[in-house]
Chain A
Amino acid sequence: MNNQEHQGVFIFVEQIDGEAKGVSFELLGKGRELAAELNTQVTAVLPGYHVEELAKELAWYGADRVIMVDDPALETYMNEPYVKALTTVVETYKPEIILYGATAIGRDLAPRVSARVHTGLTADCTKLEIQEETSHLMMTRPAFGGNIMATILCPEHRPQMATVRPGVMRRCAKDETAVCPVEWMLIPDLAESKNVEILEILKKVSEKPDIMDANILVAGGRGMGCAGNFAMLEELADALGGTVAVSRAAVDSGWQGKEQQVGQTGKTVRPNLYIACGISGAIQHLAGMEESDIIIAINRDETAPIFEVADYGVVGDACKVVPLLTKAIKEFSGRSFL
C-alpha cells in the first residue's frame, strides 16, 4: 500500500439529536497535536441529518475542515448506513489517521469500517503519539484488564484507526473566532443500506449528573459497608459541590447504579479532586481515576493499593471520617462567608 497517498488526521464526530459527544471535542484537541507533528490538517467527519449548526462549533475546537454527510438515513445511529458513510469518506479522502470515541457507537462502528477497508484498529487508546523515525501513529492502550499497557502500530495499512477513551484527552481552548470550510458529501442510496428496523428508542432516565463532567468526585466502594452509607457521601459531595461516584464492587453489591461507576469497565474520570472512600483500589479502578489532579483516599486497610496513587491518605474507617469531614467543611465554609 502506498502510504504517502494517505494524508490528514480525521475525527469521527459523534452526535445524538444534534448534540456532539464531549469526546469528539477531545479528539479534535488531540488531532491538532498529531496534525501539527505530521504537518497536516484536522478534518472533522460529521454524519447526521440537519446538524450543520455543529460545524461551527467543531471549528472553535480545532477543526481545519468539516466533511458533512447529511442524510435522513443518518438521523439516528444505525450500524450499516454509518459504516457506509465512513468507508466512503475513507475511500474518497484517503486519510492517514482516523480517531473515534471509544463510546458504544464508536466501538460498534469502527470495527466494521476496519474490516471493510482492510486496516488495523486499536481499541480504547489512552495515549497517541507520532513515532519520530517512521511517522507512524503509536497507539497505547491498557491490556489484560488494565494490568499492562501495550503500544500498537499499524505500519503497512492506512488509515491508522483508533478508538480513544472519553475523558482521557484534553480538548483545546475554545476559539469562537475560528471558522473553517464545510464540504458537503452526498452518498447515493444511503437509505437502502438500512438493514435493521429500530422499533423503539427508550431513553434512560438519570437524575444524577454525569461523573465525567464533575470537578469533584466523592467515590465509595465496598468499604462503605452498605447502600445506606452512601447518603454520607452525598452529603460530603454536596458540601464540596461535587458528585458521587462508585467502584465496581459497590455496583456489583447493588448499592449504586452502573452509570456512576469509575474504572476499566466503567468511566474514566479526571476531576480536580477525587476522594476515594472505602475503595481498595483494584488496578481496574485505578485505570479509571489515577489521572485525577488530587486524590484523597480513606481506607481501613493501610496496605490497600489506593494509597499508592493517593496524594493524601488516611488510614481509618470512611464511615467515621466522612461525616466529621463534611461537618468540618460546612463549618469552614460557613465561617468564610461571614
Chain B
Amino acid sequence: MNIIVCIKQVPDTTEVRLDPVTGTLIRDGVPSIINPDDKAGLEAALRLKDQYGAKVILVSMGPLQADAALREGLAMGADDAYLVSDRAFGGADTWATSSTLASAIRKIGGYDLIVTGRQAIDGDTAQVGPQIAEHLGLVNISYAEEVKVEGNAVIVKRQFEECYHMIRAKFPCLITALAELNEPRYMTPGGIKEAYQSKEVNMLTRADLDVEENNIGLKGSPTRVFKSFTKAVKGKGAVVKLDTAESVDWLMEKLQEKFII
C-alpha cells in the first residue's frame, strides 16, 4: 500500500501577535510548524504503515524552507519526500495550488490513498484536499476522525456537525484528516539522523511537472487578494476595578439599564 501525505509548513498562528502601534502582524520570530491537521494525517498514515505495512510518501508545496517540515515528517517515519517548489508556483490560490499538487501526485504515481489535512491554520480554507481529489478524479472523504483499511478499501468515520458517517471507499481515494484524529508521535533521535543523513527530499519544479501555464501560480488563480487589513476594534467600554460586592452592584445596574433583567 502506498500512501501519499500532503503537508504544509505554516507559521504557528497562535503565536502571531499584532503590533499595538501599527496594527500590523508581527511575523518575526513566529515558529514554523507542520500544519496540525496535516500532522494528524501523517500520523494516521504512519499508523496504517505500522499496522498493515505501507510506504508513506510526503509531498509539500512551498518555498525551500519547507524542507524542514519534510525532514520532520521523515524523522517521524515517512519513507520518501517531495518538495514541489518553483517561483512559477508562487502566489497560487487554492485552485492553482491544488492543480499543481495534483500534477505532482500524478507524476509520483502508484498511490492507493492520499491523505491531506482538513485545513491549514494560516488559510483555514479546507479547499485544497477536495480540489486535489477533483483534479485527479478521485473520491474524497472529508473530516476523517477514524481511519482503517479493509481489503482494497478504506473505512472512515467522518465528522459532521450533528452526526458521523461511517463511509467505505475503494482505493484509490483521498481523505482529509482532523487534528482530533490522533496524537502525532515525536521524532526519534534515530529518525532525525536518518532524515538528514540517509533520506532525501526530492525536488519537483515547474520543468518536472506537466502543468499548463494558465493553471499555476498567480496567473492560474481565479481569486485575487484585493486588500488585507486588521480589524477595527470596537470602542472600548467601561472597565471597573472594585471589590466583589461593588462589582456585582455595578453589573446589576448595567443589566437593568439595558433591560436584560
Contact = CB atoms under 8 A, between A and B. Distances in A.
A150 B160 contact: no
A121 B223 contact: yes
Interface string B243-260: 011011111101110101
Contacts of A253: none
A324 B155 contact: no
A111 B127 contact: yes
B260 A273 contact: yes
A202 B260 contact: no
Contact of A199 (B131, B155, B229): B155
Interface residues of A, number: 83
Contact of B166 (A103, A198, A296, A310): A198
B229 A152 contact: no
B224 A328 contact: no
A307 interface: yes
Contact of B16 (A142, A147, A157, A336): A147
A118 interface: yes
A309 B225 contact: no
Given A154-B223, A308-B236, A112 B140 contact: yes
B52 interface: no
Interface stretch (A37-45, A54-62, A313-321): A313-321
Contacts of B143: 104, 108
A115 interface: yes
Contacts of A152: 223-226
Contacts of B124: 123-124, 142-143, 145, 264
Interface stretch (B64-72, B90-98, B103-111): B90-98
Contacts of B233: 308-309
Contacts, number: 234
B19 to A, nearest CB: 11
B162 interface: yes
Interface string A113-157: 011101111111000000000000010001111011111111111
Contacts of B123: 123, 143
Contact of A119 (B130, B160, B222): B222
Contacts of A116: 134
Contacts of A111: 94, 125-131, 134
Nearest to B153: A197
B87 interface: no
A142 B142 CA distance: 22
Interface size class for chain B? 35 or more
A145 B14 contact: yes
Contacts of A295: 237
A111 B135 CA distance: 11
Interface of A: 16, 77, 79-80, 83, 103-105, 107-108, 110-112, 114-116, 118-124, 138, 142-145, 147-157, 195-204, 216, 240, 264, 272-273, 282-284, 290, 294-296, 298, 302, 307-317, 320-321, 324-325, 328-329, 332-333, 336
B225 A144 contact: no
Given A111-B130, A115-B131, A147-B25, A314 B250 contact: yes
B168 interface: yes
A149 B168 contact: no
A240 B260 contact: yes
A115 B95 contact: yes
Given A108-B142, A111-B127, A112-B134, A325 B248 contact: yes
Nearest to B179: A265
A15 B261 CA distance: 36
Nearest to A126: B231
Given A124-B124, A145-B13, A320-B244, A153 B223 contact: yes
A201 B165 contact: yes
B169 A196 contact: yes
Per CB-CB distance, the 4 closest pairs between chain A and chain B, nearest first, are A145-B13, A120-B222, A313-B239, A120-B223
B130 A157 contact: no
